[in-house]
Structure 1
């Protein structure tokens, strides 16, 4: 991949990638981090692709301007935890303390401390959900890994390893449970066939509303900077 700047104020970084499957030049703006990717079919000159991007400059900047602002987490921030808003407030001592509508965090390294606490909460919730669905499926998983992924909420390896974004703990519990059921279903079906979706429904029940919530609201969980 290569990077170029789209002139203007401020300049926009374009990430250029070539694809043997692409049939035309295309632009994609990530809803998670605002990255602008310019995809070129093989044989198309970079200059031609950059001219295409310049012709779409107003469209690119319009989409970037409409992205929600990032939020640096600190005392006073209103942060969703398991779907419920919590105000981050100072607390004495060294431990993070959760109360109804409030999350107390010691004064030093607020973001780092809170992220560590959220990751532990996410591990607890995702392990319990994965255990539940794996038992229903009748297949064990190998391990659970938590990451701060931007391209996916979860994944399952052919060796049975489950990976989740810890930010799922910010979403309502039913969203976290849907993603856990989705990934556990891959233990039986390593694809997105009708058999796979039938397995998700057997494990979880109806899932369309949860999937729609992620498409509409998932990017907002990445607004928070710890």
Structure 2
């Protein structure tokens, strides 16, 4: 057997995986892009890392310099993040855009259920409460979002081949070239008009698998509340992505 020859190290191997802020170390994600024309730095959609994008010819060191030059900006962005939605007894969580109070009912049975007073009751041991809230929301999402997808597909005439839920941290939905639509289960926490926008957005991709002018014209035609939905996601989407 030939001895394994170690891979030559490259400058990118030494890129830091975190940056030290006043609040402590914060994760950094590095991306090399052939399409990027310039260095860029942004907070990830989930708010859990700083994403540094390097164009093809940019040196890793220029990315590191950019990162450290914007240390104060990063700290300010993190301070502006909305508080995470907590899956714990007494906390408020949105279901279809309506606030519900989590109520722990250890003496009850049946998992989790919602009553007429907008309370989400969760039975069993407190150690499993967060998981049961999550399981309940995911099951509700599969039922309600799946049904809404069917309804809107019938109305628009665009029928996906398959449907699935995902626990994505950076996108609300996707549509493959094979006609498979994926929706983020966290959409069940958003208002109905926001859910409809995301679903119609993905249905439009069945005709235009891009973000061309023709695609957006179709989205606007099918979803008159597109601007309102996008604004809602801009203002509240991060909190949903961090829920739980």
For normalisation by structure 1, the TM-score amounts to 0.90
Deviations 1:53-76 (A, max 9, x none): 212111111112222233441111
Instruction: State which drifts further: 61-70 or 86-95.
Output: 61-70
Q: 1:33: how far off?
A: 2.4
Judge conservation of contact 2:174–2:181 (CA < 8 Å) in 1: yes
Correspondence 1:143-222 to 2 at 5 A: 143-222=162-241
Q: 1:8: how far off?
A: 4.3
Q: 1:218: how far off?
A: 0.8
Q: Confirm or deny that 1:55 pairs with 2:93.
A: no
In 2 relative to 1, CA 7–126 (structure 1 residues): closer, same or farther, beyond 3 Å? closer
Deviations 1:156-215 (A, max 9, x none): 111111100000010111111111111112112222233323332343334221122112
Judge conservation of contact 2:39–2:55 (CA < 8 Å) in 1: yes
In 2 relative to 1, CA 87–16 (structure 1 residues): closer, same or farther, beyond 3 Å? same
Judge conservation of contact 1:25–1:49 (CA < 8 Å) in 2: yes
What's the RMSD between the two structures over aligned residues? Answer: 2.0
Question: Partner of 1:103 in structure 2?
Answer: 120
In 2 relative to 1, CA 154–56 (structure 1 residues): closer, same or farther, beyond 3 Å? same
Measure, in 1, the Cα distance between the counterparts of 2:239 and 2:164: 22
In 2 relative to 1, CA 23–166 (structure 1 residues): closer, same or farther, beyond 3 Å? same
Question: Partner of 1:6 in structure 2?
Answer: 19
Judge conservation of contact 1:154–1:163 (CA < 8 Å) in 2: yes
Measure, in 1, the Cα distance between the counterparts of 2:184 and 2:21: 34
Judge conservation of contact 1:133–1:203 (CA < 8 Å) in 2: no
Measure, in 2, the Cα distance between the counterparts of 1:200 and 1:212: 15
Mind listing any 5+ residue stretches in structure 1 that lack a counterpart?
none
Specify the SS of the correspondent of 2:110: coil
Measure, in 1, the Cα distance between the counterparts of 2:215 and 2:54: 33
Measure, in 1, the Cα distance between the counterparts of 2:51 and 2:222: 36
Judge conservation of contact 1:154–1:162 (CA < 8 Å) in 2: yes
Q: 1:43: how far off?
A: 3.3
Instruction: State which drifts further: 204-213 or 152-161.
Output: 204-213
Mind listing any 5+ residue stretches in structure 2 that lack a counterpart?
1-11
Measure, in 2, the Cα distance between the counterparts of 1:181 and 1:71: 26
Measure, in 2, the Cα distance between the counterparts of 1:43 and 1:23: 9
Q: How many residues align?
A: 225
Measure, in 1, the Cα distance between the counterparts of 2:57 and 2:158: 47
